[in-house]
Structure 1
């Protein structure tokens, strides 16, 4: 049936407060809800009012050449690196800042005090052995100034725009145990598993928003520039290394049989075992004694022998390369099984056809025997394959050759090209964790937002896309999404979010990441942030316009650094909506919708002349809402009440054309918006007010 709207305006107090007072919520104030919104960062020549990069946008670049060695006896990592830093900014840089994340584990670190519950054990942090500027064969030592997890390097002559500097750093540290979280060593049946991340001194970001972004590392997330990485990992010869990027020297570290299996996997939709359980559990070869002529150069640069008479086994060096990335990480263990299948993606651009064939695009999994199982790691590569292919088709192409799921103590952590997972994970939880961590390849590995400042642009965006992936996988086998860290009670997001919105202690989405306690981190940074995008997509903008805008956002900011302001402006411009009211209510505040319906009356007290349904807005987040009217014969009509309805009023009367009495009038019948009080969302068929036709 057709519906005609008539509005009865009631006065609204412009001085209403936004906080509840003594249990009596204030009346929503449209002048505040719909006021112009001042974004934290102004539009300028670097960042435009459309949310795109401005005509003079710039971004610095960092390239790395890294060599590290793991000593399994002492559980230490030692390394050296050459950082090639390019200043593309218009500013002269007289100092450089480097991140030393391993210092978080020092006793007395800022992280130690900020999150003492996570720091029951300690290491000595990272030991910087030397720092120097390398210039055409000349090495000039630098004296670093280390402050917690930051290292400042003063330059004798400033870097001008377009200049490059090569910085050589030598370091070592003790690898934390499983308590280290994101970087750790833990035990398995067939040997220790090393999860190595944040393992090298990393350049801080210098940008147009803050200059040097030097927030101390307290254990949250990261902010890094992009560049090319060439890195080598030396480990005992029995170890397998799963690393970000492409393995450059397979003939030096893999057997011919393993290389043949990889070639087979490159053509297979199903997993192919590259390293089997039998190979993992085969008796170890006896140590190789070094002969008297051991001082001679080894046959290959990847075999390393010690002094004559040593009984220590050989080591191997695994050499990886990853282009245009912000970071790399790896796992290493003698305990790893390894399987792989092809990724159905176009070849990466660049290089010759021979090069592309030599580096097929693979979904891969590395795990100990503890991970074997029909609902466990036997399915890992199928989950990896689905996540990478689905996200590539839905949002933007995956930009790197391989995608890896690797099992350890259970960090559930993401890095470019690789995810660290729990070897004990099983069932729906394992699927969801794998999909979530690999979804991070898009946010923030491709779209390089500042996770240190705005967690919702990392965790929330990723949670949003992996909810859709859960519905897509195997006809919804694991839908709805199962979140091990934040488990909804009812399974209905519109209901589950209400407790967050009504908790006066809940932080807002725009709160700095480090200020959000563990109690609220998943409920807010993950769940509320993801649900906000779902509301935009499903209730406010619509899937067609939202998906197009979101894809365009990913494309515009791929390998760059968007701010929250850029995202808000971009979505306004691309969807064709002024969403300031939503950004203000959902992101800058914890405002919520709250609608009430009733009473129902009839024109001239005659149901044959149409029904009059009173709707009241009692909430500060006036989301579009559906009113469903059902007549006595069971027929029904739905009227969508848009947000603009509430720009000048808090009450209206909906004139619904009909010829019989109304049985029920219900607001949000599908429960798709987070109305915080549903006790007044429905009304029965008995009219209580009569309004003449001239007054509606």
Structure 2
């Protein structure tokens, strides 16, 4: 999901700038090296399920759920109605007497917890007092034998009582149910209906009852869905049949099994051409949208899709869709298909006609950098959802164009790696999803089309006032536990900034990128925790980073490095200079210092973070041979120092 940068930019424009003050105000140090470098960090030792090295343990397990779903869309009543059959495998060492499911559409029931806690106004996830009568109607809940089973529904959760105990270590059970709901026009910015001149666009997500994750950390992860926290899902195979009006085109993240039945002959020929074209090929043009002959002449059509080894599926449907596509070239030599679906209002003027180009470029970059894209298609849908990701399909704002369309497209498809491939718990740890993605988006944008949309924002530490605000919650706070105005900072920008500074300034790009790739490889299609991530990075790079995780993730600590004094060795500039520095806030970081001599020569010195391991002040020798005109901490303006005025010493 994308949080617009507007709020961050507003704060960044008023952030502290590096200035040269004649004399900085003396600040009493808050730094405690015993707390920052306390060797007791991890809450858990390694186990057979999760290794102390951060890898899955040799007895790691996770459960699986396969889905067969058949639904219809009524574009007059906006109803989705059908049946889901769930085949569940219990790979845990525990027997089960019941199973929990998530009913995320129940968020839109006026009596839901989510509706009760949403602010009166200005919330991305809805508005208090909404009169929309949403939520599921569920019936015919049966086991495989056809017998009805007992169940109860509590808000967005459903508990099914199993007729007999489900065995551990591979026990299987099947059950099914009928369900229906009315699609909300504004669905917490994750699903919805966009009205266009040629018809409604349905962006359909959180649309079927799904099994809750049972893991070795929390057992059943059945926190209610209230809007801010996203999703945590088991992996499995999906077979989906969607019946819609024949004048609609239905796109789903998955392999289309019956293309001859749902595309016209000409459209199918164009689609096959696109599968072997690096340039975007129009499948259905704007002029054809209003031509009845651009769709098969029937009342309804059933679109049959399949997607394997995935945690979710989503789809979109409309008679207003312009469709285009191009091939995606993957490192192994395999190919996937980039496709875009958008209305005429989104076409032209450096807007959605470039969506497929952006999709292709984004996925090709991440496939080379981290891990190969796993799905047969990648579909970008223009909708009234500002930006939301699902396996092989994303929803982006229909009005986006230029750099904003590139940004949201790249962000949402970056989510294929986090959390679609690396299946972290978004409901608890948004930063492992949004923060990692914000980090990789930064790298992708730097190289896209030779930097077409790469716009350095000046000093990287221009965001200091925003991300180092002492009133923020820690990054390791659930999204539900954050003030809504802070979610963009704490889930996206601060952890994204943290990963970039860890990569560029603490570890180094080559070593960090190799470790990050290992993290993706170890936890692909599995469920890592924050500690698993911390351990992988430390074990792969050989660095003890508990001071970093404490500062950036577990606590809301600030950084303040200061120059205390500059003296010449034996009062002789030719012998060099002694520089005294202090760490005044709770966060330790490496120190980069640049001295400028009277002749204009610049000399740099970098101190490792370990100088703060048992000190709050440090004195070192700068090898210079003439008088100094100035000395500056962080000359490249990359560290988020809250008091830059004490970073500078000069002869005046």
Trace 1:138-157 onto structure 2 (pairs within 5 A).
138-157=145-164
In structure 1, the partner of 2:12 is none
Answer whether contact 2:603 2:624 (CA < 8 A) is retained: no
- Asked if 1:122 corresponds to 2:132, the answer is yes
In structure 2, the partner of 1:70 is 73
Secondary structure of 1:497's aligned partner? helix
Answer whether contact 2:247 2:296 (CA < 8 A) is retained: no
Aligned equivalents of 2:284, 2:276: Cα separation in 1: 17
Larger mean Cα displacement after TM superposition, 278-287 or 230-239: 278-287
In structure 2, the partner of 1:427 is 402
Larger mean Cα displacement after TM superposition, 595-604 or 60-69: 595-604
Secondary structure of 2:630's aligned partner? strand
Aligned equivalents of 2:607, 2:188: Cα separation in 1: 51
Aligned equivalents of 1:493, 1:114: Cα separation in 2: 36
Aligned equivalents of 2:40, 2:237: Cα separation in 1: 39
Trace 1:513-532 onto structure 2 (pairs within 5 A).
513-532=479-498
* Closer, same or farther: CA 611–207 of 1 in aligned 2, 3 Å: same
Deviations 1:507-566, CA, capped at 9 Å, x for gaps: 111111211122100011100010010011001000011000000000000000000111
Answer whether contact 1:348 1:401 (CA < 8 A) is retained: no
Gaps of 5+ in 1: 1-22, 289-312, 350-359, 482-489, 687-696
Aligned equivalents of 1:377, 1:287: Cα separation in 2: 25
- Asked if 1:245 corresponds to 2:230, the answer is no
Trace 1:587-598 onto structure 2 (pairs within 5 A).
587-598=553-564
- Asked if 1:542 corresponds to 2:552, the answer is no
Aligned equivalents of 2:217, 2:540: Cα separation in 1: 23
Aligned equivalents of 1:456, 1:549: Cα separation in 2: 18
* Closer, same or farther: CA 505–611 of 1 in aligned 2, 3 Å: closer
Answer whether contact 1:146 1:152 (CA < 8 A) is retained: yes
Deviations 1:298-334, CA, capped at 9 Å, x for gaps: xxxxxxxxxxxxxxx6100000000100000000000
In structure 2, the partner of 1:498 is 465
Pairwise CA distance, 1:156: 2.1
Pairwise CA distance, 1:493: 3.5
Aligned equivalents of 2:333, 2:377: Cα separation in 1: 11
Answer whether contact 1:497 1:528 (CA < 8 A) is retained: no
Aligned equivalents of 2:544, 2:72: Cα separation in 1: 54
- Asked if 1:133 corresponds to 2:150, the answer is no
CA RMSD of aligned residues (A): 1.8
In structure 2, the partner of 1:187 is 195
In structure 1, the partner of 2:647 is 681
Pairwise CA distance, 1:619: 2.4
* Closer, same or farther: CA 491–157 of 1 in aligned 2, 3 Å: farther
Aligned equivalents of 2:597, 2:41: Cα separation in 1: 46
- Asked if 1:510 corresponds to 2:476, the answer is yes
In structure 2, the partner of 1:176 is 184
Aligned equivalents of 1:506, 1:610: Cα separation in 2: 42
* Closer, same or farther: CA 324–74 of 1 in aligned 2, 3 Å: same
Answer whether contact 2:338 2:378 (CA < 8 A) is retained: yes
In structure 2, the partner of 1:91 is 94
Secondary structure of 2:570's aligned partner? coil
Pairwise CA distance, 1:345: 1.4
In structure 2, the partner of 1:480 is 455
Secondary structure of 2:208's aligned partner? coil
Pairwise CA distance, 1:284: 7.3
Answer whether contact 1:661 1:685 (CA < 8 A) is retained: no
Answer whether contact 2:67 2:237 (CA < 8 A) is retained: yes
Secondary structure of 2:190's aligned partner? coil
In structure 2, the partner of 1:667 is 633
Pairwise CA distance, 1:252: 0.7
Deviations 1:365-387, CA, capped at 9 Å, x for gaps: 00000110131001100100011
Deviations 1:379-432, CA, capped at 9 Å, x for gaps: 100100011000000111001111110011133111000110111111111110
In structure 2, the partner of 1:357 is none
Aligned residues: 618
In structure 1, the partner of 2:112 is 109
- Asked if 1:561 corresponds to 2:527, the answer is yes
The counterpart of 1:460, out of the listed 416, 421, 435, is 435
Trace 1:548-627 onto structure 2 (pairs within 5 A).
548-627=514-593
Secondary structure of 1:263's aligned partner? helix
Pairwise CA distance, 1:286: 12
In structure 1, the partner of 2:244 is 235
Aligned equivalents of 2:479, 2:539: Cα separation in 1: 27
Aligned equivalents of 1:285, 1:667: Cα separation in 2: 65
Pairwise CA distance, 1:180: 4.8
Answer whether contact 2:67 2:86 (CA < 8 A) is retained: yes
Aligned equivalents of 1:500, 1:449: Cα separation in 2: 23
Largest Rg, 1 or 2 = 1
- Asked if 1:80 corresponds to 2:47, the answer is no
Secondary structure of 1:448's aligned partner? coil
Answer whether contact 2:363 2:413 (CA < 8 A) is retained: yes
Pairwise CA distance, 1:102: 0.6
Aligned equivalents of 1:41, 1:375: Cα separation in 2: 51
Aligned equivalents of 1:566, 1:362: Cα separation in 2: 33
Larger mean Cα displacement after TM superposition, 108-117 or 513-522: 108-117
In structure 2, the partner of 1:342 is 327
Trace 1:278-357 onto structure 2 (pairs within 5 A).
278-283=287-292, 314-345=299-330
Aligned equivalents of 1:520, 1:198: Cα separation in 2: 24
| Runs (4+) off by over 4 Å | 23-26, 283-288, 346-349
Aligned equivalents of 2:133, 2:442: Cα separation in 1: 38
Secondary structure of 2:493's aligned partner? helix
The counterpart of 1:653, out of the listed 619, 628, 632, is 619
Answer whether contact 2:476 2:554 (CA < 8 A) is retained: yes
In structure 1, the partner of 2:33 is 30
Secondary structure of 2:329's aligned partner? coil
Answer whether contact 1:248 1:320 (CA < 8 A) is retained: yes
Aligned equivalents of 1:121, 1:641: Cα separation in 2: 60
Aligned equivalents of 1:610, 1:180: Cα separation in 2: 61
- Asked if 1:398 corresponds to 2:373, the answer is yes
* Closer, same or farther: CA 37–218 of 1 in aligned 2, 3 Å: farther
TM-score of the pair, normalised by structure 2: 0.92
Secondary structure of 1:338's aligned partner? strand
Aligned equivalents of 2:277, 2:440: Cα separation in 1: 27
Aligned equivalents of 1:458, 1:253: Cα separation in 2: 35
Pairwise CA distance, 1:491: 4.9
The counterpart of 1:275, out of the listed 270, 284, 291, is 284
Pairwise CA distance, 1:178: 3.1
Pairwise CA distance, 1:598: 3.9
Pairwise CA distance, 1:283: 4.9
In structure 1, the partner of 2:50 is 47
Secondary structure of 2:196's aligned partner? coil
TM-score of the pair, normalised by structure 1: 0.86
Aligned equivalents of 2:254, 2:411: Cα separation in 1: 20
In structure 2, the partner of 1:691 is none
Deviations 1:69-106, CA, capped at 9 Å, x for gaps: 00111110101011000000000011001110010001
Deviations 1:583-642, CA, capped at 9 Å, x for gaps: 011111111221111422112211122211121221221211211112111112111011
Pairwise CA distance, 1:347: 6.5
* Closer, same or farther: CA 27–285 of 1 in aligned 2, 3 Å: closer
In structure 1, the partner of 2:273 is 264
Answer whether contact 1:46 1:55 (CA < 8 A) is retained: yes
* Closer, same or farther: CA 442–192 of 1 in aligned 2, 3 Å: same
